[in-house]
Amino acid sequence: MYASSIRRVLLTTCALTALLFLTARPAAAQAFGPRVGVSVDPDQFVFGGHYETKPLVEHITFRPNIEIGVGNDLTVTCFNFELAYHFPSSHAWNVYAGGGPALVLDHFDHHTDTGGGFNFLVGVESHEGLFGEIKAGTIDSPNFKVVIGYAFHL
């Protein structure tokens, strides 16, 4: 039963990713960049990168990212397929919220486990590119993450 749930999450994730890439707009407002932070349960240092599309529909972007957590004799690699809703703002800082499914690889003692997860996120970003983000994870995703990063706009 658990394996079928993971397969369903993975198939849904792949289908959603393909659909979003097929509907992505031109590169004019796309962004990419690094991210670093910490996670809780497991307690780890986290680093990675992200890519963000131009809005797919008004205020909603596709923001896939990879985050690698190290520490506690464990390496956790999360492939996150997240959508973000950017609340309209005329200020220098913008609030966004969203979430999405994740593929989670846990590597410990020369053994790798694969699982699925789901993240909920809230963040704040400047128009210059600096951002901070808080994530709550379910299923196999780390329970809590705090990251900062920078988005280079293309």
- The DSSP secondary structure of 5-73, one letter per residue, reads HHHHHHHHHHHHHHHHHHT---GGG-EEEEEEEEEETTTEEEEEEEEEPSPSBTTEEEEEEEEEEEETT
Contact of 31 with 126, CB cutoff 8 Å: no
The pLDDT profile of the chain, 154 residues, written as one tens digit per residue, is 445 555 555 555 545 454 444 444 444 479 999 999 999 988 999 999 999 999 999 999 999 999 999 998 899 999 999 999 999 988 899 999 999 999 999 998 888 999 999 999 999 999 899 999 999 999 999 999 999 999 998 8
Number of domains composing the chain: 1
Contact of 140 with 41, CB cutoff 8 Å: no
3-state secondary structure of 151: coil
CATH of the domain at 11: 2.40.160.20
**Residue 110 belongs to what domain range?**
2-153
pTM metric for this prediction:
0.77
